[in-house]
Amino acid sequence: MGISDGTPGQSFQLQTAPILERRENEYILVTPAGGLPQKWTEVRDFADSGPLNFHYTIDSITGTIQFGPLIREPSQLKQQTQVRTRIQQPSLDETSVQVLDNNQSEHQYGAIPPRGSEIKMVAYRTGGGREGNVQAGVIQFLKSAYPYIASVVNRVPAINGADAESLEQAVMKAPRILRTRDRAVTAEDFEVLTQQAGAGAIARVRCLPANSRRQAGIVSLLVVPFANTDAIAQGNGIPPEEFALSNALQEQILSYLDERRLLGVQIELQEPNYVGVSVQTEVALEPAYNNPFASEEIRRNLRRSLYKYLNPLTGGMDGKGWPFGRPLYTSDIVALLQQTPGVRHLGPVLLFPIRKQGENWRRQPSPEQLIDPGSEGLICSWADTNLRSNHDIQIIRNS
C-alpha cells in the first residue's frame, strides 16, 4: 500500500471498498528497511494500545487503514492512562509518555511503522452489500479473464449480504460497543457481540431473559440473519426459510463468543418462532381512483405495505423489524392500510395465522382477531399460492 514516513497517525488506502470483516489470514505486514516482515494486529480503536503494540485500525466502509496517533493530553488524563496501562500491560515502557512544560503530555497510541517500512495488506475481501444477494445462476461471467476458464455459474443463491451501516446507525451503536469492552457479561453484551460475530450477516439478536424453564448458566440467543428484501418490493414477501441460521454461521458466532464469555457460561443459539399472517380485506377507493389502472396499482401498493410491515427485517411501526414477541392486532392492519393514498374506507379485516407443524406450514382455516407469536416469536408474511399465504385484497367498486 505504500512506504512509511515514520510519522504518527499515518493512513493508507486500500484499492477497493467496502471491506468485509477480516478473517484470520487477512492482516497487514510491515517490513522495515533491511529487516524481516512483522505481522501487525487490527484493533477496533487505540484506547488500550501502547507505543510498543503493533496495532492498526481499518474503516470497513472506506477501506482506510490507520496507524496509531500521537495525542496531547492534560496531565490528569495522563496519570489515569498510566494507572490503567500498568494494570492491563505491566511490561509497557512508561518512558513513552513525555511531560510537557505547559502541564500537558504526549502519548503515542500504538506503534509507528519505522521510516522506510513497506506496508502490505496480505489479503482482504470486498463486497457490494445487499446487491450481492443474487439468485442462483445469475453470475455467469468473471470480471477479469483467467486462462482456461470459459464460464462460471453460482449454483446457490448468495445470502446474508447487507449494506454498510449509516452514520446514524453507527452513532447509536458506538455507546453499546464501549460498554461491552469486548466481554460478554450482560444480556446487552451478548446481543452486541453476536452481531459483531456475524461480520455483517446478522440483522437482529435478542438475549432471552432467565426463567424457570432455562437452566442456570445457559444464555439463549434468538438470531435473525439478513435476507434479500427485494422480494418485498416485488410483492412476494420473504419466506421464513430465508431467515434460517446456517451451521457455518452458528459455528462462526459460537467461536467468537466462546473467547469472550465468562467461564462456565454456555451459549445456545435459536431461531425465533416465526408465525405467518395472511390478511384478507375489502377496500373502497376515492372516486378519482375508480378506474382499472389506478385500482390495480393501489392494490399492489397495499400488498407491498403488508409484506413490508409484517416482516422480521423491515416490519413494525419504526420499519426496523417486527418486535420480538409482539402480537398482531386487527387494528394494526386497519391503521396501516388507511395510510395508503386513494383508500376511502375498509371492509372487515381478517387475519389468518400460518404456523409450522413438523416440516410443513399450515394456514389456519378460521381467522383470529389477535395473532400472538409468543415471547420467542416473530410475525412474518410471504406469498405462496399453494399454502394460500398471500394477502387477499378486494377492491369495492362504487356505483
Quickly list DSSP for 187-251.
Answer: HHHHHHHHHHHTTT-EEEEEEPPP-TTS-TTEEEEEEEE----HHHHTT-B--GGGG---HHHHH
Supply the pLDDT for residue 93: 46
pLDDT at 137 over 70: yes
> What cell was used for 118?
513497506
Supply the pLDDT for residue 267: 92
Neighbour count for residue 395 (Cβ, 10 Å): 18
Supply the pLDDT for residue 134: 77
- Counting residues of the chain whose pLDDT is more than 70, the rounded percentage is 84
pLDDT at 119 over 90: yes
**Secondary structure E strands in 272-381:** 273-285, 328-329, 343-346, 350-357, 360-363, 370-371, 377-380
* Residue type present at position 99: V
pLDDT at 77 over 90: no
pLDDT at 102 over 80: no
Of the ranges 74-88, 129-143, 233-247, 272-286, which one carries the lowest mean pLDDT score?
A: 74-88
Residue 145's SS3 state is coil
Supply the pLDDT for residue 346: 92
Q: How many CA atoms lie within 13 A of 142 on its CB side?
A: 9
Query: For residues 160 and 25, which has the higher predicted lDDT (pLDDT)?
Result: 25
pLDDT at 105 over 50: yes
> What cell was used for 179?
460498554
Supply the pLDDT for residue 239: 94
215 closest CA partner among 172, 267, 286: 267
Q: How many CA atoms lie within 13 A of 223 on its CB side?
A: 30
Supply the pLDDT for residue 198: 85
253 closest CA partner among 228, 274, 271: 271
User: Which one-letter DSSP state was computed for residue 117?
Assistant: P
CB 332 within 8 A of CB 258: no
Supply the pLDDT for residue 99: 47
User: With bands split at pLDDT 50, 70 and 90, how would you rate the model's confidence at 47?
Assistant: confident
Rounded to whole angstroms, the Cα distance separating 16 from 309 reads 35
What Cα–Cα distance (Å) separates residue 103 from each residue in 69, 83, 107? 20, 18, 13
Supply the pLDDT for residue 94: 44
Supply the pLDDT for residue 143: 72
Buried b (16+ CB within 10 A) or exposed e, 175-197: eeeeebeeebeeeebbbbbbbbb
**Per-residue pLDDT tens over the stretch 233-268:** 889 999 999 999 989 899 999 999 998 888 888 999
Supply the pLDDT for residue 222: 95
Q: What is the mean pLDDT of residues 336-362?
A: 93
Of the ranges 107-116, 129-138, 252-261, which one carries the lowest mean pLDDT score?
A: 129-138
**Per-residue pLDDT tens over the stretch 272-329:** 999 999 999 999 998 888 888 889 999 999 999 999 999 999 999 999 999 999 999 9
pLDDT at 80 over 70: no
Rounded to whole angstroms, the Cα distance separating 7 from 68 reads 10
Rounded to whole angstroms, the Cα distance separating 198 from 179 reads 19
Residue 296's SS3 state is helix
pLDDT at 128 over 80: no
Residue 115's SS3 state is coil
Rounded to whole angstroms, the Cα distance separating 271 from 291 reads 45
Neighbour count for residue 151 (Cβ, 10 Å): 7
CB 68 within 8 A of CB 50: no
Supply the pLDDT for residue 20: 82
**Per-residue pLDDT tens over the stretch 32-41:** 998 999 999 9
pLDDT at 97 over 50: no
CB 194 within 8 A of CB 253: yes
275 closest CA partner among 226, 348, 328: 328
User: With bands split at pLDDT 50, 70 and 90, how would you rate the model's confidence at 133?
Assistant: confident
Supply the pLDDT for residue 92: 44
Query: For residues 312 and 86, which has the higher predicted lDDT (pLDDT)?
Result: 312
- Residue whose C-alpha cell is 440483522: 203
Supply the pLDDT for residue 42: 94
**Per-residue pLDDT tens over the stretch 163-221:** 666 666 666 566 655 555 577 888 888 998 998 888 778 999 999 987 756 677 889 99
Averaged pLDDT score across all residues of the chain: 85
255, containing H or E segment: helix 247-258
CB 49 within 8 A of CB 109: yes
Supply the pLDDT for residue 291: 86
